Structure 1
């Protein structure tokens, strides 16, 4: 069972993340909440506040109708869980703070958001709501590229710096064990000597786990992103999982030249956990 929160701007591009979330809930059971956030600042003058309040009520009613219509249109394409919650929230706070507050209210186990544009996850790093939420949310965030189609989580790439292997592996398993997922624990070493140590650590962590479908991989390469890109392509990965540790590793991986667009960025989702 998992409670999933899906912030949506009601755009065509956000449909992929909603459909992805629906299929996860249908597989695991739980609840699905669609959230539309309207950010409005309160005027300082009394007369203006009264007018703003009336306008706010009208906007919320319209947005609620639009959100329910959005959900209804998607329900024709994919079987929705019952019940589905549609919430419109008006807030003077930031989008990220509002989503975090709603996640606590809903006892959310996973936030699913779309990534927009041709550059896919690259755009996440460049400053969208998604990357801000990833860096701030205590709840894991699944960033779904608009071209992604849910096929289960057959192969998950867990890119690790090996700092918290047991803890991170346990968290991952709790999300994917019902999908019968093969977890590829991947570490990228800069030298053969480092690779020997890394292989031993990964194998020991896999042996300590009760989950049997774990593959340990150490790649020797000084170019972290290229090595990981290639492995993701070769393994036919369905999702990339990372623990952000303050986003340092995440930023190192994805913060690259705009001219270098990787194919998997528009094909597979990123499951991001914040320590």
Structure 2
């Protein structure tokens, strides 16, 4: 598996990188650490080649970052690659998606004490989720790694391509986690043994342990907030569609509610538009 780990060289980014290395381990995986640098506006430097200088500085900073990473995991045998790229992160990641050996997953740290609130608003992480086209694991600053035993997966009842869930299933199979499928219902939806509700994920989850939870209410963030507490979940998984139910998570009020659980990483699966 190829995991891309963008870094701004911060402690949050270091925490996310450590989380990725511990979650996936060394065997059969490649981790690419990516640092992006942006050129000054045209005209700010005309006498010397600032691009070469910025690339050199980026490479040196990235090397120091890897040294810090190795110090946190003594004896690590992970295959690490370092890349310094000119440009803004969302655009660079979009390019990586179309390269040979494209990443299977992007792992990023969230910014600041507000954790998931920053994932869901106008940050690099949000831009990568919305525009990068690849699955993203957003790791809050306060996250402490432990193997997930309970993963909440939101179900909006719309069709899901089995390929969309591959990253989630890899995590579930390697950790033995229970998937808790959370379905929002309203008074017009009947759920009972004589008329079971259709689950978008039933076929793809058939080989792993999973359970269903049905909750009502219009406040998606509030429902997730409650279910994270009830199930003691270590990870939240959502499907990002071009337009859909989960888009409500990207509003400020919803993000503020989720920010209460800054220790819970969020896996965002990308569902292309089905024809």
TM-score range (shorter-chain normalised) is 0.7 to 0.9
Structure 2 length as normaliser, TM-score?
0.85
SS of 1:71's equivalent in the other structure is: helix
> Does 2:73 match 1:78?
yes
SS in structure 1 of the partner of residue 137 of structure 2:
strand
Alpha-carbon spacing, 1:209–1:146, altered in 2? closer, same or farther (3 Å): closer
Residue in structure 1 matching 2:132, options 133, 137, 144: 137
1:138-188, Cα deviation, whole Å (9 max, x unpaired): 210111100111212211110110112563556632443122121111101
- 8 Å CA contact 1:22–1:81 kept in 2: the answer is no
Gapped regions of structure 2 (runs ≥ 5) = none
Are 1:267 and 2:266 an aligned pair? no
**How many angstroms apart in 2 are the aligned matches of 1:27 and 1:96?**
27
Q: TM-score, normalised by structure 1?
A: 0.85
Q: Which residue does 2:13 correspond to in 1?
A: 14
CA contact (8 A) 1:160 1:185 kept: yes
**Structure 2 CA distance, aligned partners of 1:148 and 1:180?**
20
Task: Show the 5 A alignment for 1:1-275.
Answer: 2-26=1-25, 29-40=28-39, 43=42, 48=46, 51-52=47-48, 54-79=49-74, 80-91=76-87, 94-105=88-99, 106-165=101-160, 167=162, 168-169=164-165, 172-191=168-187, 193-196=189-192, 199-202=196-199, 206=202, 209-246=205-242, 248-257=244-253, 260-262=256-258, 264-275=260-271
Cα pair 2:151 2:233 within 8 Å, conserved: yes
SS in 2 for 1:56: helix
Residue 28 and residue 83 in structure 1: after superposition, are their counterparts in 2 closer, same or farther (change >3 A)? closer
- How large is the Cα RMSD of the aligned pairs? 2.8
Distance 1:243 1:198, change over 3 A: farther
Give SS of 2:72's match.
coil
Aligned residues: 267
Conserved 8 A contact 1:148-1:268: yes
1:71 Cα offset (Å): 0.9
Structure 1 residues 77 and 231: CA distance shift in structure 2, 3 A: same
Secondary structure of the residue aligned to 1:187 is: strand
Residue 33 of structure 2 aligns to a residue whose secondary structure is: strand
Q: For the structure 1 residues 198 and 57, does the alpha-carbon distance in structure 2 shift closer, same or farther, using more than 3 Å as the test?
A: farther
- Structure 1 gap ranges (5+): none
- Cα gap change, 1:73 to 1:209, in 2 (>3 Å): closer
Contact 1:32–1:81 (8 Å) recurs in 2: no
Residues of 2 paired with 1:56 and 1:222: CA distance?
50
| Cα distance in structure 1, aligned partners of 2:52 and 2:135 | 32
C-alpha distance after superposition, 1:59-113 (max 9, x if no partner)? 211221111111111211125443311111123xx32111222344342111001
Task: Tell me, in whole angstroms, the C-alpha distance in 2 between the residues paired with 1:206 and 1:259.
Answer: 28
SS in 2 for 1:163: coil
